[in-house]
């Protein structure tokens, strides 16, 4: 079955879906995006994603192209047309198509809206979680406004490629003070030997992850202790457990950092429990 995408008011076969070469997303990475998990044919935590989308658009002064309920309808329709039971739905909004000029185009230029969806391999994802992942550390080299979910992801691409070339799954950024900020496409967590969960607090320096936010709600309900503070790679290596969170990975155990095993080198008990329980606290639509 051909995949279907939504582009500026039309549902099209992926092979026919395109945008103008003067779209500012292509020319300047002048746009934002969201990625939501699809589980059981339903979108997970869409209201939170749309709330973050509004933040990103507002910070870049890009107009919301339509009411949020209309965007929701389009995203659900793309999921339905692609018959995705487990996977992701991708939404991208750019400042639109205009003659190449660094300054903003005229106010009447409509934003570009693209939505696509694709299936993921559930069994493969579960197998990855069962064995855990390796991460490397990587010097922080991104712009200061990482809280904006911009499509300008070249530093993330280079970090992810460095991880792959090192035989790892993810790269954790380390700032100038020697603290982990987050992963190239995930938020970073550790669990101390006292059972305290630690992750960096939200700021302009990290993305406010939706999975991260839902997990924090889950921790409160499960009466687990959370500390939002920086931690070093060495603290992570010496921790009882470590993991990452992201919409496409949920809670993914980390078993090795820079070639050093975390604890016994296997996914930890609390991490596995959080992965099992996560969707009890998520919102499905």
Cα dihedral across residues 24, 59, 61, 71: positive or negative: positive
Residue with structure tokens 């749309």? 50
124 is catalytic: no
- Going by C-beta distance under 8 Å and a sequence separation of 6 or more, which residues neighbour residue 197? 189, 190, 191, 219, 224, 225, 226, 227, 270
Contact assessment for residue 136 and residue 27, using Cβ atoms and an 8 Å cutoff:
no
How far apart CA 174 and CA 40 sit, in angstroms, is: 36
β-pairing, 133-139 vs 187-191, is unpaired
How far apart CA 66 and CA 64 sit, in angstroms, is: 6
What's the longest Cα–Cα distance across the chain?
Answer: 59
Among the listed residues 124, 149, 160, 273, the single catalytic one is: 149
CB count within 10 Å of CB 270 equals 19
How far apart CA 112 and CA 60 sit, in angstroms, is: 14
The residues assigned a catalytic role are 149
């Amino acid at each position: 079955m051909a995949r279907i995408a939504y582009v500026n008011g039309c549902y099209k076969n992926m092979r026919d879906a395109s945008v103008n070469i003067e779209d500012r997303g292509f020319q300047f990475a002048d746009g934002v995006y969201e990625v939501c998990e699809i589980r059981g044919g339903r979108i997970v935590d869409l209201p939170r994603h749309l709330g973050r989308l509004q933040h990103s658009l507002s910070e870049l002064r890009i107009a919301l192209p339509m009411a949020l309920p209309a965007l929701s309808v389009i995203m659900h329709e793309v999921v339905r047309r692609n018959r995705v039971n487990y996977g992701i739905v991708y939404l991208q909004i750019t400042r639109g198509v205009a003659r190449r000029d660094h300054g903003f185009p005229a106010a009447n230029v409509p934003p570009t809206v693209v939505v696509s969806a694709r299936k993921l391999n559930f069994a493969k994802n579960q197998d990855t979680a069962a064995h855990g992942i390796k991460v490397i550390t990587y010097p922080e080299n991104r712009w200061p406004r990482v809280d904006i979910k911009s499509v300008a992801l070249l530093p993330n691409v280079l970090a992810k490629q460095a991880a792959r070339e090192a035989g790892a799954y993810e790269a954790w950024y380390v700032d100038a003070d020697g603290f982990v900020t987050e992963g190239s496409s995930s938020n970073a967590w550790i669990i101390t030997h006292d059972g305290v969960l630690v992750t960096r607090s939200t700021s302009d320096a990290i993305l406010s992850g939706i999975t991260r936010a839902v997990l924090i709600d889950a921790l409160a309900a499960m009466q687990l202790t959370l500390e939002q503070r920086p931690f070093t790679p060495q603290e992570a290596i010496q921790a009882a457990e470590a993991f990452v969170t992201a919409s496409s990975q949920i809670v993914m155990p980390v078993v090795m950092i820079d070639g050093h095993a975390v604890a016994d080198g296997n996914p930890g008990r609390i991490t596995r429990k959080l992965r099992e329980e996560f969707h009890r606290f998520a919102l499905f639509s």
